[in-house]
Amino acid sequence: RFFSCGIGMAKSKFEYVRNFETDDTCLKNCYIVVRLDGRNFHKFSEQHNFSKPNDGRALGLMTRSARSVMEDMDDVIISYGQSDEYSFVFKRSTNWFKRRASKLMTHVASHFSSSYVFYWKDYFGDQPLLYPPGFDGRVVLYPSNRNLRDYLSWRQADCHINNLYNTVFWTLVQRGGLTTTQAEDRLKRTLAADKNEIMFSEFDINYNNEPPIYRKGTSLIWKKMEETVTKHVELPDEEEKEVLVTRTRRRVSACHCDIVGDQFWEEHPDILEDDNC
Amino acid sequence: RFFSCGIGMAKSKFEYVRNFETDDTCLKNCYIVVRLDGRNFHKFSEQHNFSKPNDGRALGLMTRSARSVMEDMDDVIISYGQSDEYSFVFKRSTNWFKRRASKLMTHVASHFSSSYVFYWKDYFGDQPLLYPPGFDGRVVLYPSNRNLRDYLSWRQADCHINNLYNTVFWTLVQRGGLTTTQAEDRLKRTLAADKNEIMFSEFDINYNNEPPIYRKGTSLIWKKMEETVTKHVELPDEEEKEVLVTRTRRRVSACHCDIVGDQFWEEHPDILEDDNC
Amino acid sequence: RFFSCGIGMAKSKFEYVRNFETDDTCLKNCYIVVRLDGRNFHKFSEQHNFSKPNDGRALGLMTRSARSVMEDMDDVIISYGQSDEYSFVFKRSTNWFKRRASKLMTHVASHFSSSYVFYWKDYFGDQPLLYPPGFDGRVVLYPSNRNLRDYLSWRQADCHINNLYNTVFWTLVQRGGLTTTQAEDRLKRTLAADKNEIMFSEFDINYNNEPPIYRKGTSLIWKKMEETVTKHVELPDEEEKEVLVTRTRRRVSACHCDIVGDQFWEEHPDILEDDNC
Amino acid sequence: RFFSCGIGMAKSKFEYVRNFETDDTCLKNCYIVVRLDGRNFHKFSEQHNFSKPNDGRALGLMTRSARSVMEDMDDVIISYGQSDEYSFVFKRSTNWFKRRASKLMTHVASHFSSSYVFYWKDYFGDQPLLYPPGFDGRVVLYPSNRNLRDYLSWRQADCHINNLYNTVFWTLVQRGGLTTTQAEDRLKRTLAADKNEIMFSEFDINYNNEPPIYRKGTSLIWKKMEETVTKHVELPDEEEKEVLVTRTRRRVSACHCDIVGDQFWEEHPDILEDDNC
């Protein structure tokens, strides 16, 4: 009478389709980097009135979302973000999702995106979110500490180059009264030194004094914190007592420092694992 | 004076790290399926008081988010969802993101997730979303129409089997007064026919009369709609006129019908492309 | 006393390196094509005095080696060869080497190469083989019959184009007395029709009468043969008897026919499996 | 008049099938190991009367073929062989075949196999090769020096374990008069120390005095050799002169030493590149 028995058997008949899935396990002993990029964020930033050249609320929300990802996946040893992108570095020896690339990148993309909407109000207040934003992602593997550091240096150099350009560009427009086309022409073929010079001589701005979050982007790492909590203890003689307990917890901590040079890495020797493993 | 020149040059020095990206282009002439699954949705559904065995709000929100994905990526020819999963089928000949698997799956995962949070209030009203939810995804390729249909049949058969079990289980608990352990024991080793029988003889419920959305899940397809709009036209003699214009638009349309048998596919011959291409 | 015990234990310590192997299983329900190409065969053919534009011995040896591969791996349904290349098509549903791409292509490359040296003397007689030749290979997947046929058509069209060019070129040199540079210049920017015309009007050669093996390459397929063998039978009453037994055997069979059009495929309907599977 | 024009155009129509090839470039900055294994060499060794437990001719031919591969592809920094297998290690920074895995492994498999047949007579003399042998291959990537050394240690430990077993087994059979079944039973559950003890106490053989080529396998590396050649020089004043010129050449050199410990690597510091690159 009920058709379902047939279906019940049919299930096994269909189950062969599972074998079309392919294995995309990441090579062992490599750092796994997941990088997200905002989709059509140029348009998104216009529609949501991001201030130029940098919008503190938007950067804050990106970092809040990245923090949320790290707290969910504590094998991420460092994240680095700038503009509408964020990179998440999983430790060499991670076994999250059995190192399956598709699981790692979709989970990061999903969690980051839902966090972005979830925390929007905390950063943009009354300014409404007009539609759900999108981020796409990719996975890249790096076999050595040198390669990984060079990857992060590449992203921070990119941040620097873009921010320097954008800062001069919008200064020329907002304070210099140029049209955007004029500003573009003015900056064509200028080197970094020329741009610094324009800022300094025409607008009395020392670019190096601009906020580090704009010039350097944001790095999130784990820091060990001492935490003192009060614990309720029952003693053998049925007495009770309050005791102070100090324990160590890992907390996600943000900085806007240089990660190209050696100093950062010497100060945080626990981030990278030894190459010789 | 400014350190940035050095960095500027450094950029090219670091740029070699780009070459560590690998190409994950999907094989041509295959259907590309992206399937998303909720992460820890068992716990999530408890914490957000989903009703059992099915929560109409939750299913509605899933489908609202899937619709949002389809409207954003119109090469998705059909989506199918049930419980906390949704599958998106890209047409064989799609060239979205140059068929790069990582881009396709992260974008779907991201857009779906941000939509889920964005539309939450429309479905759950005053019930607050406690934290950002996560979905992970995968890409599977299917070379033939038969394989693709079998994939969708597999998911719909899975929907049926789980829903039949859950419906009987919660009926035994909610109306039969059994504990969850008792209900579990009762259902051990029962076949589909036995479960139907329990429902019918003990609770006077014909399972086939349960809402199709629960028994069959939700399929989203594109439907051509005639749309009549008023258009303001300027005539050559400087007169103006309002005219009625009828045009065809594609709209995402939901159904809860059987997609295992041939009827659905015969009624919608445009979904699949010919194998002989 | 013996250091080896230590090594014995060491084995398991090292065995983790196995996990660096990646899975390269070919997508199910696709034709698997392995194509081999001679390495530096231009030089090889010079050093071994191949006749121009075609050397019957060299083509014969290629086909002998391909036949040897097919006899070893009978899931190869058709092979196609021309010049210094050979393509081997595994049936859609093959499970040889669990469809692992690396195993399939290395085994084909290896077996073909050792056969080439092994059978060299049968084709080149007293002309010695000066050094071991090399072939490199690749795997390509084709999801539909149409795609597979187009792949084979592509190779046969390539054969045609190259052979037409080479035939005219060497006719101009060998019979027309042109230098190779002059012949090259003469053929620059000529179309197929022009080349046919040169052959016909200047040398009275109808290209279509050239040997099909040169114009069409070589296809190897399986043919069912009736084979009559004498069998020695022991009867129950201890008598013995010779009986004639007819049995069907599959044999590799070569042809030099057109495989672009439908006729070949209609005459051999067993080569391809139905798309609808 | 000639059908070929049609075909000429057809070529471009078919050429789309090229896009079904997938990119299998190996991750940068990793060692690329290609390992070959004899196919059905158990049977092959029986049919060609290999002596047991080791056949010097067979090992010599394997190494001769491996040397031929190395001389052809000088980015192979070390090869290691034992029994019917050989591993070839390409340097981290190699760009041979643009690091395409399929090209690398098929070329190695092909060249090794054709060499095996080509040099057969030099090792087996009058004993004829009955049919073309096959080797299959695979590619494995190792990101660090430690991983690569552990891979080689794994293979050498495997050599040791198998050779110890085989040596005792065939001593028990050939000198102890046991059947193969009895020898098998005798060795069940024995440890390395037990096997050494059997050899020593019953047959007065110290396993460590067995030939290193059997116990340790064969490593091939590049050695710089001073070579003095006579060169004919024309002087400006039209005189001619013979001069002795000393130049450095790399030659493939074999050893049968331990490659598990540090000594070998300290003596040959040029084989591995620094991890920190």
Establish if B267 belongs to a structural domain: no
What are residue A228's DSSP bridge partners? A246
C42 domain residue, yes or no = yes
Residue D86 is assigned to a structural domain of this protein:
yes
Mean pLDDT, residues B33-52 taken together: 97
A143 and D143: CB-CB below 8 Å? yes
Q: Average pLDDT for residues B108-126, to the nearest whole number?
A: 98
Residue A57 domain flag: yes
The yes-or-no verdict on residue C2 having pLDDT over 60 is no
Q: Quick check: C61 and C123 in contact, CB under 8 A?
A: yes
**Would you tell me the crossing angle of helices B4-14 and A145-174 to the nearest 10 degrees?**
130
Over residues C160-193, the pLDDT tens digits come to: 999 999 999 999 999 999 999 999 999 999 999 9
Among the residue ranges A247-251, C103-107, D163-167, D229-233, the one predicted with the least confidence is: D229-233
* Per-residue pLDDT, A5: 38
Q: Are B29 and C145 a contacting pair at CB < 8 A?
A: no
In a domain, A271, yes or no: no
Number of structural domains, chain D? 1
In this structure, how many other beta carbons lie within 10 angstroms of the beta carbon of residue A75? 17
In a domain, A47, yes or no: yes
Looking at residue D144, which CATH number applies to its domain?
3.30.70.3000
Residue B11 has a pLDDT of 58
Print the domain residue range for D101: 31-157
Which range, of A135-144, A250-259, C142-151, C221-230, averages the lowest pLDDT?
Answer: C221-230
Q: Is the peptide bond before A143 cis (omega within 30 degrees of 0)?
A: no
pLDDT at B201 over 50: yes
Contact C154/D at CB under 8 A: yes
Closest CA in chain D for residue A27:
D141
Mean pLDDT of chain D: 93
- Among B4-8, B89-93, B185-189, C80-84, where is mean pLDDT lowest? B4-8
pLDDT digit string, tens, across residues B125-141? 999 999 999 999 999 99
Give the percent of chain D with pLDDT over 90.
Answer: 85
pLDDT for residue D228: 86
Residue with tokens 């391809």: C272
pLDDT of res. C227:
84
In whole angstroms, give the CA distance from residue B254 to residue D41.
60
Q: Averaged over D199-208, what is the pLDDT?
A: 94
Confidence label for A2 from pLDDT (cuts 50, 70 and 90): very low
Please list every residue in chain A whose beta carbon sits closer than 8 Å to the beta carbon of residue B193: 2, 4-5
Residue A224's H or E segment, with its range, is strand A218-234
Q: What pLDDT was estimated at residue C70?
A: 98
Is B247 inside a domain boundary? Answer: no
Chain D 25-54, residues with CB within 8 Å of chain B CB atoms: 25, 27-29
Query: For residue D11, what pLDDT is reported?
Result: 58
Query: Residues of A with CB below 8 A from B115's CB?
Result: 132
Higher pLDDT, D7 or C222: C222
* Dist. CA A57–CA A61, nearest whole Å: 6
Q: Do A118 and B112 touch (CB under 8 A)?
A: no
Residue C90 pLDDT > 70, yes or no?
A: yes
For residue range D252-270, what is the model confidence (pLDDT) as tens digits?
Answer: 999 999 999 999 999 999 9
Q: How confident is the model at residue D2 (pLDDT cuts 50, 70, 90)?
A: very low
Predicted confidence band at A241 (pLDDT cuts at 50, 70, 90)?
confident
- A146 torsion bin: left (phi>0), alpha (psi -120 to 50), beta (else): alpha
Span B170-190, average pLDDT: 95
pLDDT, position C11: 58
- The partner residue sitting opposite D20, judged by closest CB among B22, B23, B28, is B28
Over the stretch B226-255, which tens digit does the pLDDT of each residue have? Answer: 888 888 887 777 777 888 888 889 999 999
How much is the mean pLDDT over chain A?
Answer: 93
Distances (CA, A) of D104 to C17, C85, C132, D141: 20, 17, 17, 12
Mean pLDDT of D150-174: 96
pLDDT over threshold 90, residue C1: no
Residues contacting residue A75 through CB under 8 Å, at least 6 positions apart: A90, A91, A94, A95, A96
Residue D241 lies in a domain: no
pLDDT(B8) > 90: no
Alpha helix positions (H), chain A: 4-14, 41-47, 56-72, 101-118, 120-124, 145-174, 180-187, 192-203, 212-216, 263-267
Which of D25, D27, D33 to mutate against chain A (most A CBs within 10 Å)?
Answer: D27
**Is residue A255 left, alpha or beta, with left meaning phi > 0 and alpha meaning psi from -120 to 50?**
beta
Measured CA to CA, the distance from residue B23 to residue C262 in angstroms comes to: 36
pLDDT reported for residue D229: 84
What is the structure's pLDDT at A8?
47
